[in-house]
Structures are given as C-alpha cells and as structure tokens.
A and B are shown apart, each in its own frame.
Chain A
Amino acid sequence: MSPLLDIKGLSVSFRTPRGDLKALRDVALQVGRGEIVGIIGESGCGKSTLINAIIGLLPANTGAVKGHIGFDGQELVGLPINAMRKLRGERITTIFQDPMTALNPVLTIGAQMTAIQYRRRASTSEKRRRAIEFLEKVRMPDAARRLDQYPHQFSGGMRQRICIAMALLTEPDLLIADEPTTALDATLEVQVIHLLRELQRDIGCSVLFISHHLGAVAELCGRVAIMYAGEVVEQGTAGDIFRDPRHPYTRKLLECDPGRITERQEILPTIPGELPDLVHVPQGCIFRDRCPERFALCGERPPEVTVRPGHQAACHKARELVAS
C-alpha cells in the first residue's frame, strides 16, 4: 500500500529583501497509514514551513514551491484553494503548541465543537452529542456540563485535551501535532502523549508529531526524522535514531540533551557555531561548519547513505560513525 503522506524533493523558498531564503531543500519524508512519525529539529530548521506546506498555509512571501506532496494519492503542491479547504480540518487536522490561543476565548467549548462540524448533515443536538463523546474520549470528566464553559475555565492540560478532541472529531487521516506538549509540565505531558497514542490506535489515523523534546518523541513515535537548516539529515526508526545515530548533527543533538546526562554537569555540552545563512546556502554538507567530523570531502554534497533498510543519513561518514 502506498504511504498516506509521500513527500518527495520538496523545496520551498521565501522572498526576502536580501534575496530568496531557501527554507526547505529537497525534503523527502513518508508517513505510512496508522504510523506515528516524529520530526525533531531546532528552531529555524524548517519544521513549521514543512507543516504549512502540507496544509497549504504558506505565507504570502512564499516564492517557489517545488517537488511533490502526495496525500492519499492526491498531489497537494499547487492544489486549488477550494480543494485544499476540503482536506484541511476534515482529513488533515492540526493541534498547535498553545491551546489557549488555538481556542476562541469568547465562545464556549460546545459552540466551537459544534461549529467545526459544519460539514456534517446533522442536527445541533446530534453535533453536541458527538462533541460530548469526543470530550469523553479525551477523558474530560463531566463532559456534558463542561461543554457550556469557556476556555479560560479549563486548566492548560484540559485545554490541550479539548484541542485534541476537536482535531479528532472529524476522524482525520492525518493528524499534525505541532509541539503539543511544550506548554505542559512533565506529568501532564506524559498523559497527553499516552492519550494521543491511545486515540491514534482507536481512530487509526497517522500522526506527524513535531517536537524538540527528544524524550517525548522517543516515547511516542515509531519513526523519526531529524531536520537541520531546511534538510532532513537523518531518518529511521526511533531505535535507529536514539541508539545508533549516524549523522553528526543527530549525535551532537543527543549529546546536548540534559535528560541523557545522568551525572550532574558543571558545563553543559552545546553545538558551537550558528545556523548557516539560508539566503546564500553554502556548498556541500549543510552541517559542515559546525561538524566535529569534517574532512575534505564535506565540500561536496553528501550522499543519502542507507545504513540499513529504512535508516538513512546524509553524511559522507555515515557508515563509519557507529555507536561508541
């Protein structure tokens, strides 16, 4: 069966006063049916551009969009706005980072949850019943009564559950979760992640989970893609990425995670240097300037090395860099 989401050779640039900023370059990513794929990357790596390209919400200063985004056999690049609107909010839904700004503060939860069912031919009471059913699915106690409350009357964790319930209400094929746990404390984060996994099994949708919390990705995702400066530099199963990372950027990123450093450190590891300028994209490997493994060949664009089936790293040394 073909993957649900099949991105190939996707490049997106933005027009800026300094010239075209090449925000995404030749990105390939697949999300299978019923699969949970994590994307990890620092701010500025192109995660948001990738999501916006999928849901057709690229900003007005977008320049060229090249390549393919296949969604269930349909090409999304260049899709007319009306056709995109049919998919968005119906077959592709999104949960955002901040549940407070994602909800309308002056409408009750019930009003918002019935309003988004505008495509369904059903009575208002039928829509309310479905809203209650989904609030119960996200384990909202006393759902029927709370339907008439406003967003400010809920705690942060509850608000994010409401957003999840709303995103799943249409039983989408693809759920995009953009840093959904960043605003939550550790106990609530675990709850939301376990809830997402359970509901994903229940509904059978695919999930694209974007986060820079490595622990959350390891807990939830089957497959993981690592992005750096507009490119996918490595992808594989969660086990491949976290136990046998082959791209030096992935390796440095994991070294920097204070959660993996068990002894208290005086000085925390960092990745020296800065992101490259994406208006004047340097030749060769994009990570070269910051890479501890750099050698002569890195001035040339690295090949996509297949370490094992399903595990690729874009690095000249990918075969040599084995786990120490």
Chain B
Amino acid sequence: MTPLLEVSDVVIRFPIHSRIAARLTGQPSSIEAVAGVSFTLEAGSTYALVGESGSGKTTLARAITGLVPIEGGQVDFAGRTISGLSEAALRGVRREIAMIFQDPIGSLSPRLSVRAILAEPFKVHGETADLDGKIARLLDDVGLSPHFAQRYPHQLSGGQARRVSIARALALRPKLVIADEPTAGLDVSIQGEMLNLMRDLQRKFGTTFLMITHNLNVVRHVADRMAVMYLGRIVEEGLTDDIFKAPRHRYTTALLSANLKAEPEAASYVIEAEGETPSLLNRPKGCEFHPRCLFKREVCRTAMPEEQMPSADHRFACHNPA
C-alpha cells in the first residue's frame, strides 16, 4: 500500500496573549494545540484519531485541509507537500480532500435546498454539465430517493441530514474524506447505518477516511489504524486490533476501561483516570499524563517519555507501560 497522507512533526500554535501581556502575566504568548504529531494514512484505509475534546484532533484535521496554518512540520498528500501552499494552490487540493462536519444540520445551509447544497461543489469547481444527473447519482449513492433534492435541511431527520453531508463530501470523488465526529449524537441504529454507508462507499470508490471521534466502540469496528491523542500529542499509535487487544500507554488503558458496556454490574471494573485534563497553558512537566496517572513513577514527573516501538506497527510513549 502507498501512503496517501503523511503528517510529519506538525506543530500548530494559537496566540493567546500579546508579547507584553505574556511577560506581565508570566504565561506563554501562545498555546501549542498540536505539538509535533506524525502519522501516515494508507490509501483506501480508515484511520481514527481518538482523544478527548481539546486534545487537538479537530485542529489537526483542519490544518490538513489548510483551514488552520501550521507552524512547524509538513503535510504531504498524494505525493506533494500541501502545507504552506497559497489559497489558490490549495483550491486544487481541496477538491481531493472533503470534510464531513460534526453538526449535520448546522453544516447545511438552512436556506438552500438539498439540490442547491449538492450543486455547490460542482459549481465551485466549474463542473456544471449534467448537474441534475450528478445530483441524482449522489443521492442514490447515499441511499436517498431523488425527491429529497427538493427538501430543505429542516425537513430532514438527523440521519438523512448526515447522508446529505456525506453526499456533498463525496460530490467531487475526493481521495480523502475527513469525518469529524460523524456519529456524535446519533442513535445506535442510525450510527450503524452511517458507518455501513461509509464502508460501502469506501469499497465502491476506494475513498480513504480520516475519522475523528471519541466513541471507542465505533473505532473498534471501522478503523484499520488509530492514534490516541492527549494534549496535542499522539501518545499511542498503531493497528486498531493491536491497541484494543493490548493497549500500552496508561491513558489508552484508562480510556478503554472507561468505555462503559451495557451490562449492569459487570461494568463496574473501571481504571479511573484521576482528576481533570490540565490546561494547555500549563502543560505538566515530564510525562503530560502523569498528574492523572495511577501508575506514575518518579521518572514520570521529570522526564518526558521517549517513543517506543514494540513492533513496526505500534508505537507509544510511556515510562511504565501496561
């Protein structure tokens, strides 16, 4: 397999204080939302970025599409470097990378019909020949009947709205689709329908998916590889099956054990992580997970753990792994 997307040592900072205010308050002038992240996405596969809100998943995804500037590192897509490209140059890239946003109704303009919403990507990229035929095919691809073209977003159920946003993302047959929490807030049955649909489309068109989620139950069933993020860094990365079978980083083990099962009483064995996620303004010294870790040692307070690779397909950074 060939890599479609290579993210190498990407750093993304957001300014929070002017330089003077930073000096006066003793706080840094910017926060590192993403602090040196690398991973590779194989063509035709599904990759999941997992982590709590604020761990930098969405920021990273937005940076890949060029919506957020990166401060360090490099993003390569289909054999060319796309980080640092001008807006004009990015336009060509953007037709190959589509996004599905978290809020399905909110991401569809309430004043446009489904037809107009689906026509937009074709118009932007000047492919207006046989527009109605293309729209009918798109609706068919996502399992909606042609009469949905006349509807407006408020006339759609949550599941139908997701199908329309998937159809829009697929309009220009992108190589990569970035799906930000594609099943958040969905009922289990409709969640299953969406994931099955994405898998069907992946088979049919060879689309590569980068999925951002905090739902581990979903990750286990759909992702080939996964990365666990904490405070803007990848703490563990590898094949999904390996990580679910034998998680090594203590944050991953806490995350997996906290994944509640619908089995009363049996559920109660949970390794709880202590306390709260620290602020990016005030990153802990040493291993950044140590203030919440039940397995910390002295070294965890002082030294940041090196990345270890137990196999070619698995890496993590922990002083006292499981």
Contacts and interface: CB of A to CB of B under 8 A. Distances in A.
A268 B221 contact: yes
Contacts of A265: 221
Contacts of B190: 42, 270
A297 to B, nearest CB: 25
A54 B220 CA distance: 39
B53 A257 contact: no
A260 B260 CA distance: 10
A168 interface: no
A188 to B, nearest CB: 7
Contacts, number: 133
Given A182-B185, A187-B255, A242 B264 contact: yes
B268 A219 contact: yes
B54 interface: yes
A187 B52 contact: yes
A264 B189 contact: no
Interface string A278-314: 0000000000000000000000000000000000000
B214 to A, nearest CB: 4
A44 interface: yes
A97 to B, nearest CB: 9
* Most B-side CB within 10 Å, residue of A186, A243, A266: A186
Query: In terms of DSSP, what is the predominant structure of the interface of chain B?
Result: loop
B284 to A, nearest CB: 14
A193 B260 CA distance: 11
A281 to B, nearest CB: 17
Interface in A205-255: 212-219, 238-239, 242-243, 252-254
B279 A155 contact: yes
Contacts of B186: 43
A239 B264 contact: yes
B260 to A, nearest CB: 3
A186 B192 contact: no
Contacts of A191: 272-273
A158 interface: yes
Contacts of A155: 54, 276-277, 279
A229 to B, nearest CB: 12
Contact of B214 (A185, A216, A219, A271): A185
Nearest to A238: B264
A43 B187 contact: yes
B192 A258 contact: yes
Contacts of A269: 192
Nearest to A154: B276
| Interface size grouping (class) on chain B | 35 or more
Nearest to B52: A185
Contact of B262 (A214, A267, A268): A214
Contacts of A217: 262
Contacts of B267: 215, 218-219
Contacts of B255: 185-187
B188 A258 contact: yes
A186 B259 contact: yes
A76 B314 CA distance: 58
Contact of A256 (B52, B185, B192, B258): B192
Interface in B181-209: 184-193, 195-196, 199
A44 B217 contact: no
Given A155-B277, A156-B54, A187-B52, A259 B264 contact: no
A215 B260 contact: yes
B53 A258 contact: no
A226 B279 CA distance: 39
Interface in B29-47: none
Contacts of B265: 239
- The 9 A-B pairs of least Cβ separation, nearest first, read A215-B260, A185-B52, A214-B262, A42-B187, A268-B192, A258-B217, A238-B264, A186-B258, A270-B192
Interface of B: 51-54, 157-158, 184-193, 195-196, 199, 214, 216-218, 220-221, 240-241, 254-255, 258-265, 267-268, 270, 272-273, 275-277, 279
Given A158-B276, A259-B217, 4 more contacts: A188-B52, A218-B264, A258-B221, A268-B196
13 contacts: A43-B185, A155-B276, A156-B53, A185-B52, A185-B214, A185-B255, A186-B214, A187-B52, A243-B264, A258-B191, A258-B217, A264-B220, A264-B240
